């Protein structure tokens, strides 16, 4: 299946800027690093350079230390070989937001012998490939010259091996993009220049396939009195910032792993190559997934061919940072080992294992790019992340350092209390029992390890679970509340107290989709099968399995208009799931003052944070429902599959969503205004947060982007009607009746907000109703006059809204509703005896008049 343009652009940018670190457009060489190839340098005898006093370390690159100088001895066999350079922090300044073990950058480099006795260090930038047998291969080579970032003078050659010896001291100590921070990173932390007198090489170790370099780099830092609270404390106190950095030079495999071509129907991270051949009539854009190299042992080949589970030749191993609190280590390891059940679906047993770091092994380093580690950060951040480092030629994952922030536990505590406090008594306190917190850590560990295995988020996984089934212990025990641990489906907030759901059925676990994705990505085929043949077999596998099992569907990251793919949601019916969620929030809210009490706490900070978390959860429920309005189901398919890729959300479902929003946010949610809580954490009757939620919903309901989308959907079905003969129109008319026409939708919204104006009685809206009506009017005016509403919208949203509604029916409809509202307000004004109501109506009348004064600017 051809990849769509938008996806290719995303993958290409990801490759160039993030994924493989092969190309950075901003790389420039300043004058001090200009390469001079015309200087003739005398090559000295080997023993004169590498003296008896030299300290030598043999490995991928033989390293010699002679007094205070470092020399590389590079074998001829290593010339022009691809080497991956991965740079990581070892130690960092406090409150910098970056930590020891985190990646700085990665590049693929190679050494090349040049004229005049120099060794060139080049960075690979090419993503283009061609067969050496094709004439176009020369054109590809001519268009992809690799930049030279350093030229080393050859000081000596080994008399026996012919290896080249050159000094690297100044290069390793310099401020270069390969081994230190790039311009953007230095700018972020206001690092001005490297202080060479306070920078040095601390250690170099070399091994058979990698060389590890540790340096200390000290930068002069700029600070200003205005930004003192944003600057690094080290910079404020001393004007200097010191970093410890590790650079891993890792030889890439001699034979790259066979690529597995990307398919948008299964969620893997991917890289892109451009393939050129003499026989093609257009360039092929080939995306291939990121995955570990799992192969059966030679002695197990027959068992593997017969379908028996076999252990891989090389196990995937993750180590736990020794800085991790001991009581959490077993849970992190369990989260790693949980993936073995998924690898069994691909034919491997004991494919992955978590281990404690062997602290007594001096040959191992936490920064060494041969080892994958869950690094533990002493940080107030509430997060964890799971990247992977890949061979850019094949997508083979070589290692991964998971980042784990200590304060993530406070987020897990908050999530669990607010989402399950109504059904699990263990959630009703500020400090959870160790076993409960450990299992929460285990779930996050599994999720992050999934990323390091190559898996993307699958925000559509939870849609495979019927909402009412989330209240059944029997169903949950078999299926879990989401089909993938890669979803953002935290805990089972649908379960009600009367359901008596087991605590094990409140948490996510490895699910059907995860097993399927590992099977698809890691099943090993015979060596004779090409990547194109693999792709055909795997595509048929998708059609046969996913078509018949919606639990295997990949819904993407939830960044489009598909309401099935959303973060933090559960179930196949957002209205019903959110209704259950809100019922539980109503049970939880009055208990927060008691649950948040904590020994040693002398204020209401815990209560304030818990109330804020509850509001955030309530807002998510509202947003889950809102996305159904104007929603489009997007299901990637090949031409071999039946059915449409794009389908509208049925009108009745959209109407149901609108009425839910009316009942739960357009009408004041008074249950949230608990004075027993608000009087302790903010001013009485404070409604700011709730009003902000409502205003956000109103902006979405009346956004130009959404209304234009609804209009385009309606126009598409009208076009179908116009093109068909009368005798065949029946089916399409039925389809059109399922479309939520823009004007019908706007009529429904208008009635919900303004119906009281027409009831023939005095119009007396509450304070909250007046907020709602003003938000409606503000957004209606923005639809009619978007060029005057930019200040009220984000820059990008304003541009999109204006561009998508120009010369469309959306602006015409906005004008008609402004005129209708103006007429209805004029009728209501004489009946308004309440001073505030009258002022409110007069204010809106003036707003409408001002909006209608000038003619709409033609674009």
Q: Name the domain boundary from 251, 278, 312.
A: 251
* Reported pTM: 0.89
Please check whether residue 237 lies inside any domain of the structure: yes
Domain that holds residue 471: 298-557
- When comparing pLDDT for 96 and 818, which is higher? 818
d(CA 752, CA 50) in angstroms, rounded, equals: 86
With respect to residue 598, please indicate whether it lies within any of the assigned structural domains.
no
Confidence (pLDDT) at 134: 83
At residue 435, what are phi and psi to the nearest 5 degrees?
-65, -40
Are 102 and 157 in the same domain?
Answer: yes
In a domain, 564, yes or no: no
- What is the number of residues in the chain? 859
Structural domain total, the chain: 3
pLDDT range class, residue 140, cuts 50, 70, 90:
confident
Mean pLDDT of 730-734: 48
Which of 542, 557, 572 represents a domain boundary (last residue)? 557
By the 8 A CB rule, do 414 and 428 touch? no
Average pLDDT over every residue of 88-105: 87
Q: Are residues 222 and 340 in the same domain?
A: no
Query: Does one domain contain both 20 and 118?
Result: yes
- Mean pLDDT in the chain? 87
pLDDT digits (tens, 9 = 90+) for 588-627: 999 999 999 988 777 899 999 999 999 999 999 999 999 9
Residue 359 and residue 479 in one domain: yes
Q: Is residue 277 part of a domain?
A: no
Domain identity same for 221 and 307: no
User: Does 842 share its domain with 760?
Assistant: yes
Give the closest residue to 807 by CA, choosing from 857, 743, 745, 740: 857
pLDDT category of residue 230 using cuts at 50, 70 and 90: low
Higher pLDDT, 707 or 736: 707
Structure tokens at 714: 């309606």
Higher-pLDDT residue of 317 and 98 is 317
pLDDT at 718: 64
Q: Give the residue from 557, 576, 606 where a domain finishes.
A: 557
Residue 5 pLDDT greater than 70, yes or no: no
pLDDT of residue 3: 38
Is the pLDDT assigned to residue 21 strictly greater than 50?
no
- Residue 800 predicted with pLDDT over 90: no
Across residues 401-419, what is the average pLDDT?
Answer: 96
Q: Looking at 180-189, 355-364, 464-473, 484-493, which range is the least confident one? A: 180-189
How confident is the model at residue 20, as a pLDDT? 34
Range name among 28-32, 301-305, 420-424, 705-709 with the lowest pLDDT average: 28-32
Q: Which pLDDT belongs to residue 95?
A: 80
Distance between CA atoms of 454 and 19, rounded to whole angstroms?
12
pLDDT in tens, 480-528: 999 999 999 999 999 999 999 999 999 999 999 999 999 999 999 988 8
> Which residues are CB-contacts of 536 (< 8 A; sequence separation ≥ 6)?
none
Strands 240-251 and 200-206: unpaired
Confidence of residue 125 (pLDDT cuts 50, 70, 90): confident
CATH number at residue 406: 3.40.390
Q: Is residue 32 pLDDT above 90, yes or no?
A: no
Clarify whether residues 433 and 543 are in a common domain: yes
pLDDT of amino acid 735: 54
Distance, CA of 27 to CA of 182 (rounded, Å): 8
Q: Would you state the pLDDT for residue 238?
A: 85
If you average pLDDT over residues 336-357, what whole number do you get?
97
More confident residue, 711 or 549: 549
Share of the chain above pLDDT 90, in %: 67
pLDDT of residue 786: 76
pLDDT band at 225 (very low <50, low <70, confident <90, very high): low
Residues 44, 188 within the same domain: yes
Q: Is the pLDDT of residue 759 over 70?
A: no
- Range name among 61-65, 478-482, 752-756, 837-841 with the lowest pLDDT average: 752-756
CA–CA separation, 401 and 531 (whole Å): 29
What is the SS3 assignment for 48-99?
HHCCCCCEEECCCCEEEEECCEEEEEECHHHCCCCEEEEEEEEECCCCCCCC
- For residues 735 and 283, the model is more confident at 283
Same domain, 335 and 459: yes
Mean predicted confidence (pLDDT) in 341-357 = 97
pLDDT over threshold 70, residue 725: no
- Judge if 445 and 542 occupy the same domain: yes
Find the helix or strand (DSSP H, E) in which 657 lies: helix 651-661
> Which structure tokens are listed for 510?
């490895």
Residue 580 lies in a domain: no
Structure tokens at 604: 């209401």
Look at the block and give the residue holding tokens 């700085």: 104
Residue 33 and residue 160 in one domain: yes
H or E element in which residue 646 lies: strand 646-648
pLDDT score recorded for residue 507: 96
Cα–Cα distance for residue pair 23/42, rounded to 1 Å: 35
Which tokens sit at 628? 């159904």
Could you give the angle at which helices 835-853 and 809-828 cross, rounded to 10 degrees? 150
Could you give the percent of the chain with pLDDT greater than 70? 88
pLDDT in tens, 253-299: 999 999 999 999 999 999 998 888 888 888 888 899 999 999 999 99
Same domain for 316 and 430? Answer: yes
Q: Is residue 552 very low, low, confident or very high in pLDDT (cuts 50, 70, 90)?
A: very high
Q: Does residue 728 fall inside a structural domain?
A: yes
pLDDT at site 4: 45
Residue 276 lies in a domain: no
In a domain, 692, yes or no: no
Local confidence band at 33 (pLDDT 50, 70, 90 cut-offs): very low
């Amino acid at each position: 299946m051809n990849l769509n343009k938008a996806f290719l652009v995303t993958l290409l940018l990801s490759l160039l800027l993030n994924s493989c670190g092969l190309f950075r457009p901003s790389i420039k060489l300043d004058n001090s690093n200009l390469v001079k190839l015309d200087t003739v340098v005398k090559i000295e005898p080997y023993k004169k350079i590498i003296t008896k006093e030299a300290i030598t370390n043999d490995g991928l690159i033989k390293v010699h230390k002679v007094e205070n100088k470092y020399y590389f001895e590079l074998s001829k066999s290593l010339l022009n070989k691809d080497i991956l350079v991965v740079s990581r922090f070892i130690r960092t300044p406090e409150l910098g937001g970056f930590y020891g073990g985190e990646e700085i950058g990665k590049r693929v480099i190679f050494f090349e012998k040049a004229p005049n006795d120099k060794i060139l260090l080049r960075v690979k930038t090419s993503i283009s490939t061609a067969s050496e047998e094709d004439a176009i291969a020369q054109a590809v080579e001519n268009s992809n010259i690799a930049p030279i970032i350093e030229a080393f003078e050859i000081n000596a050659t080994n008399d026996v091996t012919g290896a080249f010896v050159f000094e690297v001291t100044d290069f390793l100590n310099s401020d270069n993009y390969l081994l230190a921070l790039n311009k953007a990173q230095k700018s972020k932390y206001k690092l001005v220049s490297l202080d060479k007198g306070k920078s040095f090489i601390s250690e170099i170790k070399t091994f058979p396939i990698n060389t590890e370099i540790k340096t200390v780099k000290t930068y002069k830092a700029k600070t200003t009195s205005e930004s003192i609270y944003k600057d690094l404390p080290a910079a404020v106190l001393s004007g200097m910032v010191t970093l410890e950095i590790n650079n891993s030079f890792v030889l890439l495999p001699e034979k790259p792993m066979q690529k597995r071509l990307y398919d948008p129907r299964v969620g893997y991270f991917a890289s892109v190559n451009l393939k050129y051949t003499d026989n093609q009539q257009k360039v092929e854009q080939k995306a291939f997934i990121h995955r570990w190299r799992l192969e059966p042992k030679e002695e197990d080949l027959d068992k593997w061919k017969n379908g028996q589970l076999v252990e891989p030749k090389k196990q995937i191993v993750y180590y736990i940072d020794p800085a991790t609190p001991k009581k959490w280590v077993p849970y992190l390891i369990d989260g790693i080992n949980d993936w073995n059940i998924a690898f069994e679906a691909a034919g491997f047993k004991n494919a992955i294992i978590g281990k404690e770091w062997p602290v007594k092994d001096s040959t191992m380093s936490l920064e060494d790019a041969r080892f994958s580690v869950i690094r533990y950060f002493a940080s107030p951040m509430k997060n964890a992340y799971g990247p992977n480092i890949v061979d850019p030629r094949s997508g083979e994952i070589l290692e991964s350092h998971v980042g784990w922030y200590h304060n993530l536990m406070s987020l897990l505590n908050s999530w669990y209390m607010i989402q399950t406090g109504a059904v699990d008594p263990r959630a009703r306190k500020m400090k959870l029992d160790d076993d409960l917190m450990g299992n929460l850590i285990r779930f996050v560990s599994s999720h992050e390890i999934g990323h390091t295995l190559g898996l993307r988020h699958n925000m559509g996984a939870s849609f495979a679970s019927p909402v009412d089934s989330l209240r059944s212990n029997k169903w949950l025990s078999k299926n879990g509340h989401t089909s993938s641990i890669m979803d953002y489906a935290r805990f089972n907030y649908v379960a009600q107290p009367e359901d008596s759901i087991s605590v094990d059925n409140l948490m996510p676990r490895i699910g059907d989709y995860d097993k399927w994705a590992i099977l698809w990505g890691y099943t090993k085929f015979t060596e004779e099968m090409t990547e194109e043949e693999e792709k055909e077999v795997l595509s048929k596998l998708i059609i046969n399995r996913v078509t018949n099992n919606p639990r295997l569907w990949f819904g993407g990251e939830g960044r489009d208009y598909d309401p099935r793919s959303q973060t933090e949601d559960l179930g196949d019916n957002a209205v019903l799931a959110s209704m259950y969620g809100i019922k539980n929030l109503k049970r939880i809210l009055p208990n927060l003052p008691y649950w948040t009490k904590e020994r040693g706490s002398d204020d209401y900070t815990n209560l304030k944070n818990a109330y804020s978390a509850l509001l955030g959860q309530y807002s998510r429920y509202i947003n889950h429902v809102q996305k159904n309005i104007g929603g489009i189901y997007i299901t990637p398919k090949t031409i071999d599959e039946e059915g449409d890729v794009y389908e509208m959300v049925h009108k009745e479902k959209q109407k149901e969503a609108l009425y839910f929003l009316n009942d739960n946010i357009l009408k004041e949610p008074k249950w949230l205004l608990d004075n027993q809580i608000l009087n302790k954490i903010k001013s009485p009757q404070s409604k700011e947060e709730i009003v902000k939620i409502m205003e956000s919903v109103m902006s979405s309901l009346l956004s130009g982007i959404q209304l234009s989308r609804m209009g385009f959907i309606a126009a598409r079905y009208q076009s179908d009607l116009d093109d068909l003969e009368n005798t065949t129109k029946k089916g399409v008319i039925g389809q059109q009746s399922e479309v939520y026409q823009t004007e019908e939708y706007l009529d429904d919204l208008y009635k919900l907000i303004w119906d009281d104006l027409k009831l023939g009685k005095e119009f007396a809206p509450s304070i909250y109703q007046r907020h709602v009506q003003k938000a409606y009017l503000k957004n209606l005016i923005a639809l009619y006059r978007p060029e005057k509403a930019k200040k009220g919208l984000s820059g990008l949203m304003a541009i999109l809204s204006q561009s998508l509604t120009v010369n469309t029916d959306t602006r015409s409809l906005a004008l008609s509703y402004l005129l209708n509202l103006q007429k209805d307000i004029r009728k209501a004004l004489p009946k308004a005896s309440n001073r505030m109501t009258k002022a409110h109506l007069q204010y809106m009348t003036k707003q409408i008049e001002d909006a209608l004064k000038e003619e709409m600017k033609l674009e």
